[in-house]
Chains A and B, each alone.
Chain A
């Protein structure tokens, strides 16, 4: 449904994506894992057309249509919605106005009303705080609002950038459950960028691991969870202590 073919993206002279290819099947959840600065956010920005004159090479295809160099205003109308890193809600609009502006590109009054009810069902706290300014919400509430607002776009594909960032463990669990529900109940395809590898792999159908602007390994969650390197560096599961009673202090990743 959405595919990236050999994408290379630069920020000025900084070479951020060094040939990234990705294939997302309709109705699935795809996870991208990777440490800080790997280029995960850059992938999403490139897809959304937020970087002027980028990608330098390669192309982004949406259902067979090349959407390279299109504006975000165009891309969201094509059915791709983006929940950016850091929420980016409209601080001085109310929760209700934020959600209403999420439906800016739509005219179907009934559909909008139904989606709003659906979002209040996923996130009841948003309904309680309907008339509060978004800037005064807690971080977790803002994250819910950001997801709700993207759903108001009525997307076919939802791009989520670290939805669990800064949330309490309980909230992380419930956000991930809701992401899964959104995918299952509404058939929305999801591309999920996450540091929390464990949670991400729990709900994903397929995962990619990214380092330094490249994908280094990909596979189903089962495959990734069996991989030694993923286990150690992303899931934090240490290998058994060796027979000599100490662990090698620095193990090389095999994919390097």
Chain B
């Protein structure tokens, strides 16, 4: 029975990796930029939601929504003032700009909230959730918070899949990434698409952050998104960055591998597992498990 328990736990944490991987893939798909500031954007947003609850007394739902708006604005601001100004856009420049932004956010959070250990509230007033309660299905137990995480993640993932497959805006985002010239001459306002992409990705990443922290009882700290980000990245690489199913499948598989590894071998080396997976995938199957890469005909 421990098998099912580990699978459930793996799915729960894996759904967060899937969200983080999706957040990265959304930007990667639209602008071919690996966004190294993704984790720090989510980290700062999580601190903002904490701040709203702790110092301004807002309830969890209000701070949650408020900080999502903050996340979107932060990303749109960054895209507009930093990335768009880059005169000679190439991947290396973009990587450096996102890395610089990552350091800025890290410094900001360390300066503003870094002094003492803080804990994210463990009850979500007025929502009837608490991190300590569990549901028991026979021998398997699932904490309320895991259940919430999984439901939010599933709904969000489903929504994103539908969005990219069937809506005009979603397809326009893919079109912009595939061929900028074609998109512009067909009237797609690619600049707005870029802003929207960054906003959407930041919100998805922030949701993962705000679920991750209470879900794993991680203390608030400016490094808090470091490990999850590496895992999200591993999930994206594992599944493949070219399709939607890649990061989603990769996230769940990684979550389950990690739980089994942690239970049977050692939980000290969880991050090492992710890193090993990245390397192995890049060696043996660079387009990822679910990758389908269309080969450009020249």
Residues on A close to B: CB < 8 A? Answer: 48, 50, 71-73, 76-77, 81-82, 84, 88-93, 97, 100-102, 104-105, 133, 135-136, 149, 153
Contact = CB atoms under 8 A, between A and B. Distances in A.
B85 interface: no
Contacts of A90: 174-175, 178-179, 182-183
B297 A84 contact: no
B168 interface: yes
Q: Is the interface of B mostly helix, strand, loop or mixed?
A: helix
Given A90-B175, A92-B294, A93-B174, A101 B181 contact: no
Interface stretch (B111-119, B186-194, B257-265): B186-194
B175 to A, nearest CB: 5
Interface string B152-178: 000000000000000010011011001
A72 B186 CA distance: 8
Nearest to B169: A104
Nearest to B174: A93
Contacts of B168: 100, 104
Contacts of A104: 168, 172, 186-188
Given A90-B175, A91-B294, A135-B294, A76 B187 contact: yes
Contacts of B296: 91, 135
A101 B184 contact: no
A90 B184 CA distance: 12
B127 interface: no
Contacts of B190: 73
B185 interface: yes
Contact of A88 (B171, B174, B181, B187): B181
A73 B294 CA distance: 28
A90 B186 CA distance: 11
Nearest to B297: A135
B287 to A, nearest CB: 13
A50 B182 CA distance: 11
Contacts, number: 69
Contacts of A72: 184-185, 187
Contacts of A84: 181-182, 185
B172, B174, B184 pick with most chain A CB within 10 angstroms: B184
Contact of A92 (B174, B181, B183, B186): B174
Q: Is the interface of A mostly helix, strand, loop or mixed?
A: mixed
B171 A101 contact: yes
Given A76-B186, A84-B181, A93 B294 contact: no
B235 to A, nearest CB: 22
A101 B178 contact: no
A55 B109 CA distance: 47
A100 B171 CA distance: 10
Contacts of A97: 171
A92 B182 CA distance: 13
Given A73-B189, A104-B172, A135-B297, A91 B179 contact: yes
21 contacts: A50-B185, A71-B184, A72-B184, A72-B187, A73-B187, A73-B189, A76-B185, A76-B187, A82-B185, A84-B182, A88-B181, A90-B178, A91-B296, A92-B174, A92-B178, A93-B178, A101-B171, A101-B175, A101-B183, A104-B172, A149-B186
A93 B175 contact: yes
B186 A50 contact: no
Interface in B220-277: none
A42 to B, nearest CB: 15
Interface in B176-215: 178-179, 181-190
- Listed from nearest, the 6 A-B pairs whose CB atoms lie closest are A105-B187, A72-B184, A76-B187, A88-B182, A82-B185, A90-B178
A92 B241 CA distance: 14
Nearest to A81: B185
Nearest to B190: A73
Contacts of B172: 101, 104
A100 B167 CA distance: 11
A144 to B, nearest CB: 15
A113 to B, nearest CB: 15
A81 B184 CA distance: 11
B162 to A, nearest CB: 15
Interface string B287-298: 000000010110
B294 A77 contact: no
A153 B187 contact: yes
Contacts of A92: 174, 178, 294
